[in-house]
């Protein structure tokens, strides 16, 4: 998985994991640009959202 902002490879564990409806949400913090983002997984599909406070 890569940081959606700078493309840095995230090869370390998520900060936090939780369930949101049918999604598994994992929160990561990029160690290069400092962006905190969530990864939502559902049936193997994964997409990112970036918390607005970080933009
Ligand atoms: Zn980054």
For ligand 1, the distance from its centroid to the CA atom of residue 9, given in whole angstroms, is 8
Angstrom distances, CA of residue 4 to CA of 21, 22, 35, 47, 51: 23, 22, 9, 10, 12
pLDDT tens, position by position, 6-36: 999 999 999 999 999 999 999 999 999 999 9
Report every protein residue that has its C-beta within 5 angstroms of ion ligand 1: 3, 5-6, 8, 30, 32-33, 35
Q: What is the CB-side half-sphere exposure of residue 52 using CA atoms within 13 A?
A: 0
Bridge partner residues of 17 (DSSP): 26
CB atoms within 10 A of CB 20: 10
Q: What is the pLDDT of residue 52?
A: 67
Higher-confidence residue: 55 or 40?
A: 40
pLDDT the model gives residue 1 = 85
């Amino acid at each position: 998985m890569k940081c959606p902002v700078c493309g840095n490879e995230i090869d370390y564990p998520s900060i936090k994991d939780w369930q949101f409806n049918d999604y598994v949400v994992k929160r990561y913090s990029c160690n290069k640009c400092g962006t905190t983002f969530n990864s939502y997984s559902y049936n193997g599909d994964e997409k990112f959202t970036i918390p607005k406070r970080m933009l």
